Amino acid sequence: MTTDTTTPSTHTTPVLPLPTTAARAGVLTGAALALAGTFLAWTQSDAFPGNLTVTGYPGGLQVITLVGAALTLLLALSGMGIRGLGWLTPGGKNSPVRLTALGVLGTTAYAMTAISAQLGGTINLEPGAWISGTGALIAAVAAFGLPADLPADDTITGFRARFKHALKAPTPGRAKELPNSAEILIIAAAFGTGLYVFAYGIDAYSELFVGFFITTALVATALFRAGLIARLNRLTAKHRTITLTAALIAAACFPFTQTDESYALIGANILIFATVALGLNVVVGLAGLLDLGYVAFLGVGAYTAALVSGSPQSTFGIQFPFWAAVLAGAAASLIFGVLIGAPTLRLRGDYLAIVTLGFGEIFRITMNNLNGSAGPDVTNGSQGIPNIPDLELFGFNFGMPHDIAGFTLGRSGNYYLLMLLFTAVVVMVFRRSGESRIGRAWVAIREDETAATAMGINGFRVKLIAFALGATLAGFAGTVQAHVSYSITPEQYLFANTVPPNSAFLLAAVILGGMGTISGPLIGAALLYLIPAKLQFLEDFQLILFGLALILLMRFRPEGLVANKRAQLQFHENDQLDVPEQRTDTTAVGTAKAGA
């Protein structure tokens, strides 16, 4: 008699216990309470920013809480397998529910704390605030009672086990193929939503922006964990030309959504910062060269454009057409890039970083000393070059308001659209160079310079090209910055200060956004410019909170907000199994029995 010693199949479909059902009920109840509380007054004093005194419709921070609570409800219902909502959580995960519930709790708790602090105690809180706060707390606590995320093929909810015929569980795996027209509409809707969120964030006053930032950060992470961002990335990769066109159209529509010139000016400065960060991404992200004085190349382009702008304070006393000023600024930065890179790029690592940091300081000190006293009178020293006139291109004066399609664009909107054109050019240059033969050589140098040299790549020449191209792109953007800011001074180009762009913020934008990617530095630059500008009301505490946010981001997302596959594998290699799990199925069991 043969004894069957075969291990029975361990691949069984788990049925979640009843506490999971209670946790889901708690999430639904808490989110519903938080949502209902936004339709009641949170305070009776209009001294607190935002319209939080009205009953019947939400306003200010109540809108942020309402959106977060609604998303929590939808994700919780999707995890239960409700028909028509399974696409929200392709893998049936529970962590997105936790994240959105935490966002609701964070925003509501912040609002209640801010009201109490500004108005003099919790007595100023009306029942609506307490209802939303209690509901947010219940939802957050209950969300942590949900089971941990499981692999897609092992995910099942207790509701599915109890009500098979009434509920349909989310289908894991590859999404159903859609017609091309539907996929293009999804891409357009995604960029339209992104434009609305970005415009809302810029338009938000300081207290509202804090709640907006808390909710947006956690909701974006939740959508990523739910798998929606991955599906959108697959669509954008499939329709790359449509994606770039949609991104450009959405960005071009931004100034038409703003009624305040100051917000359009923020948008123009963000584009300048983002364009320079993308140029630095060539040096740091593709070639792997740590440049700590990169902002100096921006200064070279800006000073060149200012000197030939026709400003009364310019010592040159000449005025170039704008196209010639752009070429002059880019050429001057290219020359400085080659002059600095030729003797220093034989260094590696920390030594190269120290030398580039020194170059940035040398540039600032030199601009200070060219004042007619310590040196030749070229840059007016610390006074800089003020009164830089507005651009005029093909009869279009960028300093004057213009009516376009029924909308009036002011000076800031005009420069925003011009800088958007420059950004599109830089994106095209970065994309083409990164996909070229020289781009592959940069990546090889970045990964292992010794191995790349052994394979026949001229490391010095390749690095010098990257350094020169990065410098040229920075000078390219600097020519517009000179006209946007009206004046140029040496203090604008420090290594680190509280006002970007500077070398420290540029490097942070590239690293936090995602090295070697196109959208990463653009998103990183937008966040690093916008957050300090909106947190000025916190005064000395803004840098503490800003630093804490960077630490948390580097801890939980070290590869950057938008990372390529190589970076994800590099930073999360410890999360991968050394040996794949051995999976026993019924076929294997049957084979073992037959052999026995």
Q: How far is CA 194 from CA 33, 167, 187, 292, in A?
A: 28, 32, 11, 32
Q: What backbone torsions phi and psi does residue 37 show, to the nearest 5 degrees?
A: -65, -20
What is the model's pLDDT at position 592? 40
How many whole angstroms separate alpha carbon 337 and alpha carbon 332? 9
**Same-domain pairing of 406 and 289:** yes
- Is residue 64 included in any domain, yes or no? yes
What is the model's pLDDT at position 594? 43
Domain count within the chain? 2
What is the model's pLDDT at position 1? 42
**Same-domain pairing of 171 and 284:** no
**Same-domain pairing of 163 and 263:** no
CB 218 within 8 A of CB 100: yes
Global confidence as pTM: 0.79
Mind giving me the DSSP string for 146-180?
SPPP--GGG---HHHHH-TTT------SSPPP--H
Q: Taking the mean position of all CA atoms in its chain, how far away is CA 527?
A: 6
488: left (phi over 0), alpha (psi -120 to 50) or beta: beta
Give the CATH number, domain containing residue 527. Answer: 1.10.3470
Q: Which helix (H) or strand (E) holds 404?
A: strand 402-404
Three-state DSSP at 311 gives coil
- Is residue 188 included in any domain, yes or no? no
**Same-domain pairing of 277 and 409:** yes
- Is residue 224 included in any domain, yes or no? no
Average pLDDT across each block of 10 residues of the chain; the chain has 596 residues. List them in order.
43 50 89 93 86 86 93 85 71 80 93 89 90 94 80 40 35 60 89 89 84 89 84 85 89 84 86 90 88 89 90 84 90 91 83 88 89 80 86 83 80 90 90 88 88 88 91 91 88 75 83 84 85 72 73 77 66 48 42 42
Q: What angle do CA 28, 33, 37 make, to 5 degrees?
A: 150
**Residue 403 CB neighbours (<10 A):** 8
Comparing CA positions, the residue from 151, 117, 130, 142 lying closest to residue 14 is 151
Mind giving me the DSSP string for 448-474?
-HHHHHHTT--HHHHHHHHHHHHHHHH
**Same-domain pairing of 545 and 415:** yes
Last residue of a domain, one of 177, 204, 222: 177
- Is residue 11 included in any domain, yes or no? no
What is the model's pLDDT at position 571? 55
What is the model's pLDDT at position 231? 85
**Same-domain pairing of 382 and 513:** yes
**Same-domain pairing of 165 and 265:** no
What is the model's pLDDT at position 568? 59
**Same-domain pairing of 314 and 415:** yes
Q: How far apart are the first and last CA of the chain?
A: 11
Last residue of a domain, one of 161, 177, 193: 177
| DSSP state for residue 309 in the 8-state scheme | B
- Is residue 578 included in any domain, yes or no? no
**Same-domain pairing of 269 and 162:** no
**Same-domain pairing of 271 and 146:** no
What is the model's pLDDT at position 569? 59
How many whole angstroms separate alpha carbon 515 and alpha carbon 562? 8
**Same-domain pairing of 395 and 529:** yes
What is the model's pLDDT at position 72? 92
Host domain of residue 379 = 258-573
- Is residue 236 included in any domain, yes or no? no
- Is residue 3 included in any domain, yes or no? no
**Same-domain pairing of 423 and 545:** yes
- Is residue 320 included in any domain, yes or no? yes
Q: What angle do CA 427, 481, 262 make, to 5 degrees?
A: 100
